[in-house]
Chains A and B, each alone.
Chain A
Amino acid sequence: MTRVYLFKPFERFWHWCQAILIISMLVTGFEVHGTYRLFGFAKAVDYHTIAAWTLVGLWIFAIFWHVTTGEWRHYIPTLKNVAAIANYYSSGIFKDEPHPFRPSLSNKHNPLQRLTYLAVLTLLSPLIWFTGWLYLFYSSWAAWGLGGLRLEWIATGHTLGAFLMLTFLISHLYLSTTGHKLTSQIKAMLTGWEDLGDEAAPGKPH
Chain B
Amino acid sequence: MRNRNLMAAAMAAIFFVATAQAATATPPVKLLKSTADHSKFKELDREFDSGPEVTKACLSCHTEAAKQIHQTQHWKWEFVNPDTKQVLGKKHIVNNFCTSVRSNEAACNSCHIGYGWRDDKFDFSVEENVDCLVCHDHSGKYTKPSGFAGLPVTKDTEFPAGSGKIVRGINLKEIAKKVGPTTRSTCGVCHFNGGGGDGVKHGDLDTSMDNPGRELDVHMDAKGLNFACATCHKTDDHKVSGSRYAPTARDKAPTHMRGEADKTNPDTCQACHGQAPHKTVRLNEHTAKIACQTCHIPAFARGGQPTKMSWDWSTAGKLDKDGKPMILKDDDGYDKYMTIKGDFVWKENVKPEYVWFNGTNHYTLVGDKIEKGDKPTQINHFEGSATDGKSMIWPIKLFRGKQQYDPINKSLVITHLAGSDGTAFWKNLDWEKAVTAGMAAGGVKFSGKVDFIETESMWAINHMVAPKEKALGCVECHANGARLEKIDGVYMPGRGRDHAHWLEIGGWALALLTLLGVIGHGLIRVVANKRNS
Q: A-side interface residues toward B, CB under 8 Å?
A: 32-34, 37, 40-42, 45, 89, 93-96, 138-139, 150-152, 155-156, 159-160, 162-164, 166-167, 170-171, 173-175, 177
10 additional contacts (CB under 8 A) given A41-B479, A155-B498, A163-B503: A37-B475, A42-B474, A45-B282, A96-B528, A139-B284, A151-B490, A156-B500, A160-B507, A163-B511, A174-B518
CB pair B499–A94 under 8 Å, yes or no, is no
Residues of B168-214 at the interface with A, using a CB-CB cut-off of 8 Å, are none
CB pair A171–B508 under 8 Å, yes or no, is no
When chains A and B are docked, how far (Å) is the Cα of A174 from the Cα of B518?
6
Which of A152, A156, A170 has a CB less than 8 Å from the CB of B511? A170
Q: Which residues from chain B contact A40 at a C-beta distance below 8 Å?
A: 474-475
CB pair A32–B514 under 8 Å, yes or no, is no
When chains A and B are docked, how far (Å) is the Cα of A142 from the Cα of B514?
40
Q: Which residues from chain A contact B510 at a C-beta distance below 8 Å?
A: 163-164, 167
CB pair A32–B529 under 8 Å, yes or no, is no
Q: Given A34-B480, A167-B511, A170-B514, decide whether A155 and B493 contact each other with a Cβ distance below 8 A.
A: yes
When chains A and B are docked, how far (Å) is the Cα of A94 from the Cα of B523?
10
Tell me whether B304 is interfacial, beta carbon within 8 Å. Answer: no
Instruction: For A93, give the chain B residue with the smallest CB separation.
Output: B525
CB pair B525–A33 under 8 Å, yes or no, is no
Q: Which residues from chain B contact A89 at a C-beta distance below 8 Å?
A: 521
Residues of B447-491 at the interface with A, using a CB-CB cut-off of 8 Å, are 473-475, 478-480, 490-491
Q: Which residues from chain B contact A41 at a C-beta distance below 8 Å?
A: 473-475, 478-479, 494
When chains A and B are docked, how far (Å) is the Cα of A160 from the Cα of B528?
36
- 4 A-B pairs closest in CB distance: A163-B507, A174-B518, A94-B528, A41-B474
* B470 CB, min distance to chain A CBs, angstroms: 15
Tell me whether B254 is interfacial, beta carbon within 8 Å. Answer: no
When chains A and B are docked, how far (Å) is the Cα of A166 from the Cα of B515?
10
Tell me whether B532 is interfacial, beta carbon within 8 Å. Answer: yes
When chains A and B are docked, how far (Å) is the Cα of A94 from the Cα of B506?
30
Instruction: For B508, give the chain A residue with the smallest CB separation.
Output: A163
Which of A32, A95, A171, A174 has a CB less than 8 Å from the CB of B493? A32
Q: Given A139-B285, A177-B522, decide whether A95 and B528 contact each other with a Cβ distance below 8 A.
A: yes
When chains A and B are docked, how far (Å) is the Cα of A48 from the Cα of B187?
48
CB pair A95–B532 under 8 Å, yes or no, is yes
CB pair A96–B518 under 8 Å, yes or no, is no
Tell me whether B288 is interfacial, beta carbon within 8 Å. Answer: yes
CB pair A152–B480 under 8 Å, yes or no, is no
Tell me whether B444 is interfacial, beta carbon within 8 Å. Answer: no
* A124 CB, min distance to chain B CBs, angstroms: 13
When chains A and B are docked, how far (Å) is the Cα of A175 from the Cα of B521?
10
When chains A and B are docked, how far (Å) is the Cα of A173 from the Cα of B479?
31
When chains A and B are docked, how far (Å) is the Cα of A156 from the Cα of B511?
17
CB pair A94–B524 under 8 Å, yes or no, is yes
* B506 CB, min distance to chain A CBs, angstroms: 8
CB pair B491–A159 under 8 Å, yes or no, is no
Q: Which residues from chain A contact B522 at a C-beta distance below 8 Å?
A: 174, 177
* A93 CB, min distance to chain B CBs, angstroms: 6
Tell me whether B495 is interfacial, beta carbon within 8 Å. Answer: yes
When chains A and B are docked, how far (Å) is the Cα of A34 from the Cα of B522?
32
When chains A and B are docked, how far (Å) is the Cα of A173 from the Cα of B519?
11
Instruction: For A137, give the chain B residue with the smallest CB separation.
Output: B285
